[in-house]
């Protein structure tokens, strides 16, 4: 797969925007041309989880329209509570895949699973990757059955072919990953791109070879309406 690194769109949909996320985006060591898009557009409010899912879908569809209207070759999605390392964008661009994700722990669920589905399973139907599987491949690039949108590089060709849609009772990334899986797209995850995932109470979840590490910090988010 050939890749023209000119024109990268960095996309951050916002509801609860963490200052650490903003700093991480602008502190990347990637030196190529890029634009940064923060959305301040949540028309459905936040009364229910379905409202949040509708806002997420609204913003990802907006990003897709903006990307395809421009000359961007890829979009790097960084959700507003994810803290990617400084070399994240550069490393993700170097991987041969239709989508390439970093690694983080999901905030939902008692066990905080990793953000990738095991290869050979359909996202939302089978299972998340277990932490012992992650440990066996720590620091490597692996193929998955889908990697969530929190830190994900998406090639232009993918968004030309596949739009986002509602996947309730899950967020839109689950249905979108299922579509890519069924189309045979290569959904990769670079396990050396380890991201933090910050909760509203200030707790940051970090992926490690031993599972999730918890780092207590002070709440510092900006509420975005």
| CA dist 91 → 64, 144, 164, 215 (Å) | 22, 17, 25, 25
Residue labelled with tokens 């916002």: 14
Which domains does the chain carry?
Answer: 8-223 (3.90.550.40)
Decide: 152 and 76 in contact? Cβ < 8 Å. Answer: yes
Return the minimum-mean-pLDDT range out of 44-58, 153-167, 192-206.
44-58
**Within 13 Å, how many C-alpha atoms sit on residue 133's CB side?**
17
DSSP class of residue 130? Answer: P
- To the question of pTM greater than 0.85 for the whole model, the response is yes
Yes or no: say if 199 and 216 are a contact pair by the CB < 8 Å rule. no
- Side-chain half-sphere exposure of 4, counting CA atoms within 13 A: 7
pLDDT at 1: 34
Which of 90-99, 104-113, 116-125, 127-136 is predicted least confidently?
116-125
Helix 49-69 and helix 172-182, axial crossing angle in degrees, nearest 10: 50
pLDDT reading at 128 higher than 90? no
């Amino acid at each position: 797969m050939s890749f023209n690194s000119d024109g990268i769109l960095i996309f951050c949909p916002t509801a609860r925007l963490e200052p650490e996320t903003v700093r991480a985006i602008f502190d990347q060591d990637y030196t190529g041309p890029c634009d940064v898009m923060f959305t301040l557009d949540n028309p459905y409010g936040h009364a229910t989880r379905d409202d949040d899912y509708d806002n997420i879908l609204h913003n990802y569809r907006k990003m897709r329209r903006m990307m395809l209207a421009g000359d961007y070759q890829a979009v790097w999605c960084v959700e507003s509570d994810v803290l990617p390392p400084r070399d994240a964008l550069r490393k993700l661009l170097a991987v041969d895949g239709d989508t390439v994700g970093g690694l983080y722990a999901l905030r939902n669920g008692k066990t905080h699973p990793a953000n990738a589905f095991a290869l050979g399973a359909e996202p939302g139907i089978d299972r998340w990757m277990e932490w012992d599987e992650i440990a066996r491949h720590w620091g490597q690039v692996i193929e998955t059955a889908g990697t969530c949108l929190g830190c994900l590089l998406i090639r232009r060709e993918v968004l030309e072919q596949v739009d986002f849609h509602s996947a309730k009772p899950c967020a839109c990334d689950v249905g979108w990953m299922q579509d890519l899986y069924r189309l045979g797209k290569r959904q990769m995850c670079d396990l050396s791109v380890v991201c933090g995932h910050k909760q509203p109470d200030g707790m940051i979840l970090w992926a490690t070879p031993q599972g999730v590490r918890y780092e207590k910090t002070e709440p510092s988010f900006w509420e975005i309406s």
